Structure 1
Amino acid sequence: MIKFFRKIRQNLLSEGKTEKYFKYAIGEIILVVIGILIALSINNHNNNRQQREIEQAYLLSLQSEFKTNLEKINNCLTENHNHVKAVEHMLTLFDDKVRDTISEKETSDIIYSVFKGVPTYIPSKGVLTDIISSGNLNLIQNEKLRQKIASFESTLDFLKIQEVSTHEMQKELQKQLNENGSVRKVLINKGFNFEHQSISDNASNKKIFGLIKFENTLLDFYLTISATNGQRFFGGIKDQIEQILIDLDSEIIK
């Protein structure tokens, strides 16, 4: 093709048709430019198509991951709600009239329900971390969705501070129980069998509910775990996840 155009130019020059030569040369340049622009357009179209395919793959993966995270946060909300109720039940034992009506086994059941563990939210972040660390977050066209995804990790960092505080308070409660009560007694009443007898076998854990310090620490713990289900922590994360899932669904091509 190049040889063909070159031959035409040479013929025009040899025939002395300089004006036609220049017109032809300009026309040839325009054709070349148009060809380049078409090639660039096709290349950009292919690149955009590839980026949209990658975006859709990320969106689908994020949707699956955040559905898992929604299930996890719902479980945490339920567990924490039950934990709050358990602490509320324990707080009633500081009333002599209530404490005198329950058995040692019931006391151990209440203590065990409070000390068995604090709900901890551990989200799935594999896809989220990959998108952010690889710099591919910009492949998601929806700017508001990008911002919500990017801010999700900072929300988790704030929750982690709350969880650390909750665990520290529970450790303090455990310390006071160890100093003034009998963990062995709780375990025995929960069905744990020890081979040998102990001086604490006949101990009563009811006495710890006569300690103001234990009550104050338990109240601090109660207020903290009650707040955990609020909008600043578990409740807010749940709302954030639900909104991200709505936005993901609107961006995914059906």
Structure 2
Amino acid sequence: MIKFFRKIRQNLLTEGKTGKYIKYAIGEIALVVIGILIALQVNNANEVRKSNRELDKINQNLLQEFESNQKALNTAINQLKWTKQGSLKVLSMIGKSESELMITNIDSIIEISLFWPTWKPTNFVLNELKSTGKLSLYKNSKIKDLLFEYERQSEYVNDWNRRMEKSSQDIIDYIKNNASLRNVNHNRISIKKSDLDFNNVKLFSDIRFENQIDEKVLFSQFLENIYEETDNLINQILEETKK
């Protein structure tokens, strides 16, 4: 093809047809430019298809990750409500007479208040998006804003998870030093109660124990609210991702 065009140019020059040669040269340049533009357009179209395929894969992975995290979050919310109710039950029994307490399984009620269910999501896909810069593939600015908001929310969740754990651990430590922890958890570890002549009734007339349980209820409520905010945020992310 190149030889063919060269031959035409040489013939025009040989015949002295300068005007036609110039017109032909301009036409040839135009053809080359058009060819380059077409090649660029084809290449751009291929790149767009490649990016779309990659974005589809990222979307699927992100959906699976957030759906899994949401399932674990809902489990944690239910567990948190359960341990909060146990702590509220303990508070309702503070100050009651020993005769009333002795006919109630106070150790089982105390045990419920010791749990600290925490939600620890898996953010492998999201972290990979950030580290590789592939988050820029999303043209939808709303989903990027939601993902950044989710990161900030996750830090908030982690902070309250730590507070919740410390509050629960403080109650356990207090029982270890002032009551019988074995009596509280004997069913959980399948052993009998302590052979020592001791019961945990006195905890229900102890202001320090009451304060610690009260803190546990307060932190449980705060964390439950934060979990529910996070659940709502995940719903928004899932909705945008599915678009």
- TM-score class, shorter-chain normalisation, is over 0.9
Query: Distance between the aligned counterparts of 1:193 and 1:57, measured in 2?
Result: 51
Partners of 1:190 and 1:45 lie apart in 2 by 63
Bigger Cα displacement from structure 2, 173-182 vs 236-245: 173-182
Structure 2's unaligned 5+ residue stretches are none
Superposition pairs of residues 69-148 of structure 1, within 5 angstroms = 69-97=69-97, 100-103=99-102, 106-115=105-114, 117-148=115-146
Q: Structure 1 residues 70, 168: closer, same or farther in 2, change over 3 A?
A: same
TM-score (norm 2): 0.94
Q: What is the Cα deviation at residue 191 of structure 1?
A: 7.1
Change (3 A) 1:190 1:36: closer
**Contact 2:69–2:122 (Cα < 8 Å) also in 1:** yes
Q: Structure 1 residues 235 and 75, CA, compared in 2 at 3 Å: closer, same or farther? A: same
Deviation per CA, 1:145-199, whole angstroms, max 9, x where unpaired? 12212332221111111111111111211121112101122234667336xx96x
> Aligned AA for 1:154?
R
Residues 207-246 of structure 1 aligned to structure 2 (within 5 Å): 207-230=202-225, 233-246=226-239
The match for 2:12 is 12
Instruction: Structure 1: state its 5+ residue gaps.
Output: none
1:165 is matched with 163
Given that 1:73 and 1:121 are in contact with CA atoms closer than 8 Å, whether structure 2 keeps it comes out as yes
CA contact (8 A) 1:83 1:114 kept: yes
Separation in 2, partners of 1:17, 1:68: 76
Number of corresponding residues: 243
Once superposed, what is the RMSD of the aligned Cα atoms?
1.8
| Maintained 8 Å contact 2:101/2:201 | no
TM-score (norm 1): 0.90
